[in-house]
Structure formats: structure tokens, C-alpha cells
Amino acid sequence: MNANVGTQLTGWDAATFRTASGDPTMRSTVMAATILESAPDWDRLRARVERLTLMVPTLRMRPLFGMLGVSAPRLAVDPNFDLDVHLHRYRVPDGTGWQALLDDARRMSLTDFDRNRPLWEAVLVEGLPEGRAAFVMKLHHSIADGQATVMMGLALFEFGPDPDPNEAPAPDAPLAEDVGLREITAANVSDTLRRGTSAAENLVRGALGLAKGSITDPRRTWGIALTTVTSIGRMASVPDGPLSPVMIGRGTTYSFAAMDMPFEPIRSAAKEIGMSVNDAFLAAVAVGMDRYHERHGVVVDDLRINVPISLRGDAGDRSAKASNAVAIARFPIGIAGLTPQEHMAEAHALVERWREEPAIRMADPLAEVSWFVPVPMIAQAAQASDVTTSNVPGPPLPLYLAGVRMVAVYPLVATIGAAVNITMVTYDGTAYFGISADDRAVTDLPELVADLAAGFADVTGDTPTTRPQTTEQLTD
């Protein structure tokens, strides 16, 4: 087969692309706003980004679509790749400060990708308070999850202000040629037939194993089969609607806010009772959401939460190099009537239970089946979630971009159907939080941010510095 037709998006990646393309409420962008001590040299920054695209070939690949229009796109090297189309810079007007950065990041996130080009863009923003600058990068979620974004960052950033003479050289630019619609369609048909054959073989193999097990050990065999089917039912179930009576609206726009705090209090609060950082993070979110609902005069026992379960390094089908190596666990979590310690214990138990669900490691096959489900139905199911959370460990040491130290990094992720998305990234001893809220679901974002900050204070004993829709600085 012609190598220039690339490889087809499959599984979770394909499903993400399809739903984001089919419903504006499912817009799927991952953004990182890194704050720099000063504006780096433009030519040196451009060279670093050029190197990144060579180290991560996906950033030079564009989607290709067949003539039938029903298959997932293929990703193939763009013969017209032009770095300057994806990378640009501007200076904010004097006096606008950090609000201009948040507003522009929001507009950038809400703007669809050019699907004739690689699915990313980046901008250097100069003129921020105290001489700071920001490097904002936007990726389509179909080519990167949160951890993949961190891995890309490690190929972009350096460990000191001076170039590392021992840094591995970047490979040559990949070759690319134009391909016709007929070649793309033929490749799609071939791949579909191959996957169909593989699925049929697996089905036959499973049926034979079930038949053999029914003779040799029927109780164990049918017990496993029933457990698996039940697990798939739990993972694929479609809720009636969100559990929150307050955050009920859904629209096509969302707004960003941010906050940060030292990482050690989060880690210490979890370690003190034998829990994980993620348990403390989820507990703080639960306390914050309880406060927010109390602000609106209601007591809600549970909210429906989405929690990514990382499959990187898992023995399952996904490789550690996959653009997305994650499954989403969706479950009700208690927010009312619990102490911070009880919240952590509940979060730990829920996540561990879902981590052991057999269906979690079937995320890709289930995503393939989603091609038979209309996008509006998928969007309706996604909009039944109240909150999405994500905890992404980042580098513990300071990093530099084109010779300039990165002083902060804020993850800004689309809501993707939920009312609120809260993502935490840790970097150099600090936890940075990006908060996105559907504009119809949350009309008082500063109040929500204040309640979330209070939730972290209750759990950790330390209050985050909040960065809502104000002109205060994102860094000290």
C-alpha cells in the first residue's frame, strides 16, 4: 500500500475526532498556556518548535478523507506543511494584562481547526505584566491526551537556559506526496476489511474458548463472561441527564479560569491517610462543588464525574506511544455530608473499582462500535456528566523554552459535554489548575472558582491563588 496515505485513526482517537466534528458542544481541544519569565528570541523559539515537529511526526500530519465520508480520517504527512501557518506571535495592547491572555486563549480554543492541515497551532503572546510572555499551544484531543501533551513538552523544552550540546539530533523531515481520493478510499476499505477480519477472528476465538471452558470449567468460564458483559453494560450505559439541578444548561461556548497552589500540601494531605494525590484532588473538587451548590441554595448528594484512567504502560492493547492511551470512567461521586478524609476514601474506592473493570481495557473496541451510534446520542450521553477531572503529573524541575524559564503552566481543556472541566498539572513543586465551564451551565464562574479554592483549602489546609476572570497576574 502507498505509504503516503498514512494510517487511519482508530478506536478512541477516531471516536474523539468524529464526535468533535459532528457536534459543536463536543469540541475537543487541549491547550497549555505556559508563562515565561520574558519573551524568548523568536528565531530560537521557532527552531525549537520546528524540532518538535520532527521529533513528533504527528504534528506534521494532516487528516485525509475518503470519498464515502463514513470512515475515520487518515493521518498522513502534509506535503504543504508550513510551520508559519501553525506558529505565530502577537503583543497584547498595553494595559490589558492577563485578562487579554485568558480571553484570547478562550477564542483560540473555541475556533475549529483547519482540517486540511495538521491539527495544532501555537502562539507566543508578548507584552504581559512584569515583562512576562506566554506560549500557548492548542492540540486536537484526537492526537493527544494530557500525558501525551506533557511528553511533547519534554521534546520542546530544555533543562537549562543554554542549548544542550548532548541533545539528540532531530530526524530529517518526513517525505510526503499528494495522494488522490481513490488511493485514500482504497486504503480505508483495506483497513476496514483488515480490522473486520481481525474482529471476526477474535470473535471466533472467543466463542471457541467459551465452548471449551463450558466443558472444562463452566462455573469460572461463565462467571468471567457474565462479569465482562455486565462491566460493558456499566461503561456503555447512557444516563438520563446531569445530576446537578444547578449546572443544567449546555451550549457551544465555555470560559476559562485558573488557580495554583504549592503541590506539597496536596501530597501531604493524601499521604497522611494513605491515599494518592488523585484522591486528594478529587476530594477537593467534591468539597468545592458541594460549596457551589450550597451557594445556590441546594444540597446535592452526588454528581456524575468523568475520570480518565491511564492505560500507558498497561498490558492491554494500547501502547505507551499512543496519542491517546486513556479510558474514561464515569460514575456518581458523593459531594455532600462527608469529611475531607471520607471524600478521599470514597474517591479512592471508586477509582480503584473502575480501574479493575474489565470494560476499561476494552475502550478502543467499544469506541469502534460507537460508529454505529449517531453523534447526537453520544453528545446527549456526554452532556449528562456534571464534572470532568484530570490529574496530569508534569516535570518536577524547572524547564526552559528557547533560553527562558517557564514559571507556570495552566491546562485549558474543552468541557466536551460536561458542565465543568477541572484539570491539574504539576510542575516544579506547584499544582496548576485550569478550569473551563460551559457558559450556559455556569453563569457565575468567579464564584465557582472561589468555591473550588475553598474546597482545596478544606482538604489540604492551604488556599490556592485563584485566577478567575480578573486582571490580576497569573504569577507572582
Kindly report, residue by residue over 348-382, the tens digit of the pLDDT: 999 998 887 776 666 566 666 666 667 777 788 88
Radius of gyration of the CA atoms of the chain, in A: 23
Q: In the numeric block, which cell numbers belong to residue 128?
A: 504581559
The domain ranges of the chain are 3-181, 254-394+417-467
Judged by DSSP in three states, 21 sits in helix
Q: What own/partner pairs with CB < 8 Å and gap ≥ 24 does 150-153 have?
A: 150/392, 150/393, 150/394, 150/395, 150/425, 152/52, 152/56, 152/59, 153/32, 153/394, 153/395, 153/399
| 5-61 residue pLDDT tens | 888 887 778 778 888 888 888 888 989 999 999 999 999 999 999 999 999 999 999
The CATH fold assigned to 254-394+417-467 is Chloramphenicol Acetyltransferase (3.30.559)
Q: In the numeric block, which cell numbers belong to residue 329?
A: 470512567
Does 323 have pLDDT greater than 60?
A: no
Does 233 have pLDDT greater than 50?
A: yes
Give me the chain's average pLDDT, please: 85
Does 65 have pLDDT greater than 90?
A: no
In one letter, which amino acid is 379? A
What gap in Å lies between CA 200 and CA 365, rounded to an integer? 12
pTM, two decimals, is: 0.88
Asked whether the domain spanning 254-394+417-467 has the same topology as the one spanning 3-181, the reply is yes
Per the model's pLDDT, the better-predicted residue between 442 and 71 turns out to be: 442
CATH number belonging to domain 3-181: 3.30.559.10
